């Protein structure tokens, strides 16, 4: 029977669990120096007219050797260039912390309304809170008024007044969200239809903060209005510290295959302006193979994982292992369920019982997808109303998985024991 310990941070782990790696829970890849990136690198900001001498062979994005290719955003160095995408309703503090523990090298908050900050909306300030274990973490803002966006950037950057609770790694400007309620107000990917306004917003935000400023865009509004290159060049010339490009247009949303050619064109265009600005590829990265394809087919510097991390925070370790040329051991059902329970407890601590259960259901369903008997388990997850009811659903399933795993491991352990006996004899 599994005995559960719950830490003060809401982490759940099994007593005596041999697979628990304390180092992995403390974000071993977190570099203290990378968390103090309070200043934007001037070299990356003022290089619109830098001559070709600065674009030497070290800036070659066509190199398909992706091993150990670090990405630098401001003063933050990402050893493998692995970023967690901002996703509304998903990448809250709990999810960001879990992904950091399993190899995400950089996280971004859910998108935050600049106008809501302008009006001092209390719910919005909660979205901006960042815990130490999530760092380096950027804050993403959206809006379509340069002065309001500048105000939001200034508030979020000010260590004396920021609702983030600590200085974020960067301010990210959302120019890629395709959802109707966002674009109908002229925000998100709607800004790609107005390059002049997009430039004014970027310039205003850059002028309001000393933090690195990054931008997330799409390939364009539609096939007929595919201007990702134009927007990326504007951003690069103004001096942003990184550009993330989602490989679809706004009208395509998330359905068709990623357009590698358009991402490659953006990479090449940014290189002509300033090769020190990293371009991050995004879209349908759900495995190490998909991440490798993104890099090799586009020449992008890093990758941003979104839906591929649903119930699978280990994807970051998988990609890093592939880049390093070392084996990756997928999580066992016991590890998946243990992490699901830990994630749930984080949500309960941070959001309370009711909201924690409501928002935790989708995460628990993602974690259990593909496990034997998980269809009936997910039905029970959706019906559980309280933390105790949810634990009563998950813990017996975890115990059953532990027994199954132990039964599979026993013959192998016995074989090794017999072999040792023969050797000693």
Q: Catalogue the active-site residues.
A: 177
- Tokens 């949810």, residue located: 390
Between CA 402 and CA 281, with CA 329 as vertex, the angle to 5 degrees is 125
Q: Which positions ≥6 away from 128 have C-beta within 8 Å?
A: 109, 112, 117, 139, 156, 162, 163, 164
CB atoms within 10 A of CB 330: 10
Cα dihedral 321, 326, 330, 332, rounded to 10, equals -130
Rg for the chain (alpha carbons), in Å? 23
Cis peptide before 79 (omega within 30 of 0): no
Widest pairwise Cα distance in the chain: 82
Q: Dihedral sign, CA of 149, 150, 152, 156?
A: positive
- Tokens 């933090």, residue located: 211
Question: Which SS3 state, helix, strand or coil, does residue 163 take?
Answer: coil
The separation between CA 210 and the C-alpha centre of its own chain, rounded to angstroms, equals 23
Contact 150, 207 (CB under 8 A): yes
Question: Which SS3 state, helix, strand or coil, does residue 412 take?
Answer: helix
Contact 356, 391 (CB under 8 A): no
Contact 260, 51 (CB under 8 A): no
The separation between CA 88 and the C-alpha centre of its own chain, rounded to angstroms, equals 12
């Amino acid at each position: 029977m599994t005995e559960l310990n719950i830490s003060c941070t809401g982490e759940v782990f099994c007593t005596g669990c041999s697979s628990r790696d304390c180092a992995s829970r403390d974000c071993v890849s977190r570099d203290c120096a990378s968390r103090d990136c309070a200043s934007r690198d001037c070299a990356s900001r003022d290089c619109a007219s830098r001559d070709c001498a600065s674009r030497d062979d070290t800036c070659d994005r066509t190199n398909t050797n992706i091993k150990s290719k670090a990405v630098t955003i401001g003063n933050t160095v990402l050893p493998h260039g692995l970023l967690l995408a901002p996703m509304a309703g998903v990448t809250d503090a709990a999810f960001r912390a879990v992904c950091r523990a399993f190899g995400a090298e950089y996280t971004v908050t859910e998108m935050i309304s600049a106008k809501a900050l302008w009006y001092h909306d209390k719910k919005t300030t909660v979205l901006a809170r960042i815990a130490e274990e999530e760092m380096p973490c950027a804050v993403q803002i959206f809006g379509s008024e340069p002065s309001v966006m500048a105000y939001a950037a200034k508030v979020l950057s000010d260590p004396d007044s920021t609702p983030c609770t600590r200085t974020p790694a960067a301010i990210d400007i959302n120019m890629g969200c395709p959802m109707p309620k966002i674009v109908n107000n002229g925000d998100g990917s709607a800004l790609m239809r107005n390059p002049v306004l997009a430039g004014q917003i970027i310039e205003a935000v850059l002028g309001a903060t000393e933090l690195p400023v990054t931008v997330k865009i799409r390939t364009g509004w539609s096939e007929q209005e595919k201007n990702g290159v134009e927007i990326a060049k504007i951003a690069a010339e103004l001096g942003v510290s990184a550009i993330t490009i989602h490989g679809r247009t706004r009208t395509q949303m998330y359905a068709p295959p990623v357009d590698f050619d358009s991402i490659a064109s953006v990479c090449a265009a940014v290189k002509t302006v300033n090769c020190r600005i990293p371009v991050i590829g995004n879209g349908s990265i759900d495995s190490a193979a998909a991440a490798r394809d993104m890099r090799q087919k586009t020449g992008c510097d890093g990758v941003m994982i979104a839906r591929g991390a649903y119930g699978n925070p280990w994807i970051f370790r998988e990609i890093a292992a592939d880049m390093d040329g070392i084996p990756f051991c997928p999580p066992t059902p016991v590890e998946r369920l243990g992490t699901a329970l830990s994630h749930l407890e984080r949500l309960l601590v941070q959001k309370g019982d009711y909201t924690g259960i409501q928002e935790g259901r989708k995460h628990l369903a993602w974690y259990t997808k593909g496990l034997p008997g998980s269809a009936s388990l997910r039905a029970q997850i959706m019906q559980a109303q309280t933390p105790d009811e949810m634990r009563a659903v998950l813990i017996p399933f975890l115990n059953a998985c532990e027994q199954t795993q132990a039964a599979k491991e026993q013959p192998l352990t016995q074989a090794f024991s017999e072999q040792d006996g023969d050797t000693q004899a």
